[in-house]
Amino acid sequence: MKKLFTIGLMLLTCTFYGQEEAEDSKKFTLSGSIDAYYRANFTAPNDENAIAPGSSFANLPGFALGMANVVASYEGEKVGFVADLVFGPRGT
């Protein structure tokens, strides 16, 4: 009975492999992102003398840009490149 169960289990768990068609990958890609934030001090007025957690890039209240980046890449047969351009106070 154990042999029959083992053989049946082996037959049910076999895997089949087929040939997949090759996908045409894009040679040039362009992507990017934007990081924006809002800073407010809810316990005191929003002025320069208010006590708030300090940061190295965001000391004024309101909406601001933290970082924006654009990534361009090209993949050829023998050569390729990646260019990552960053702008903003968090991008340094």
pLDDT at 30 over 60: yes
Per DSSP, the chain holds a count of helices (H) and strands (E) of 1, 3
Q: DSSP class of residue 23? A: P
Least confident span in 15-19, 35-39, 78-82:
15-19
Q: What is the pLDDT of residue 8?
A: 74
Q: What is the pLDDT of residue 18?
A: 63
Q: CA 43 to CA 63: how far, in whole Å?
A: 18
Q: CA 25 to CA 64: how far, in whole Å?
A: 37
Name the average pLDDT for the chain: 77
Q: How far is CA 7 from the centre of its chain?
A: 46
Is the whole model's pTM more than 0.85, yes or no?
Answer: no
> Looking at residues 52-60, what average pLDDT do you find?
63
